[in-house]
Amino acid sequence: MLTVRAADRFGDNSLFGVVFLRREDDVVRIENFLLSCRVFSRGIEQACLAEVLRQARDTGARAVLAGYRPTAKNGKVADLYPRHGFTPVEGPWPRSFRHDLTELIEIPEHLELTADQEMNAP
């Protein structure tokens, strides 16, 4: 699990997101990726994905799987995974994606990521 907090020159935005992960042998599944709409499109979603991918690779995973289930309120993120290097695959979600960890995405330059969670190796 990755919890997401942010602070800027105006103060602490507190806890506003979480990414639930599940490890299955050498594959990491993003089970749920929740962010408050007040911080979306500031690069934080890209930083979260970059950290998940980096830790997955660093702990020996060969791929990260994720899914998108369309709802009335989440259309803004329909292209989140393809926009960050994931490719469409057959899977358990209405739209499933896979990242093979060969080219990781970067954390946007205007953000500083401090990660204190660890993704356990199998």
**CATH code for the domain in which residue 10 is found:** 3.40.630.30
The answer to whether position 40 is within a domain reads yes
The answer to whether position 117 is within a domain reads no
Domain that holds residue 12: 2-99
Predicted pLDDT at 121: 46
Say if CB 31 and CB 22 are below 8 A apart. Answer: yes
Domain count, the chain: 1
Is residue 80's pLDDT more than 70?
A: yes
Tokens of 103: 């080219």
pTM value surpassing 0.85:
no
**Per mean pLDDT, which range of 11-15, 52-56, 101-105, 106-110 is the poorest?**
11-15
Nearest C-alpha neighbor of 17 from the set 49, 63, 54, 61: 49
Side chain identity at residue 99, one-letter code: H
Q: Which helix (H) or strand (E) holds 29?
A: strand 27-35
Facing residues of 114 across strands?
none
Rounded average pLDDT over 29-45:
78
The answer to whether position 119 is within a domain reads no
Distance CA 85, CA 66 (A): 12
Which residue would you say has higher pLDDT here, 107 or 28?
28
Nearest C-alpha neighbor of 98 from the set 88, 108, 111: 88
Rounded average pLDDT over 40-44:
70
Side chain identity at residue 88, one-letter code: P
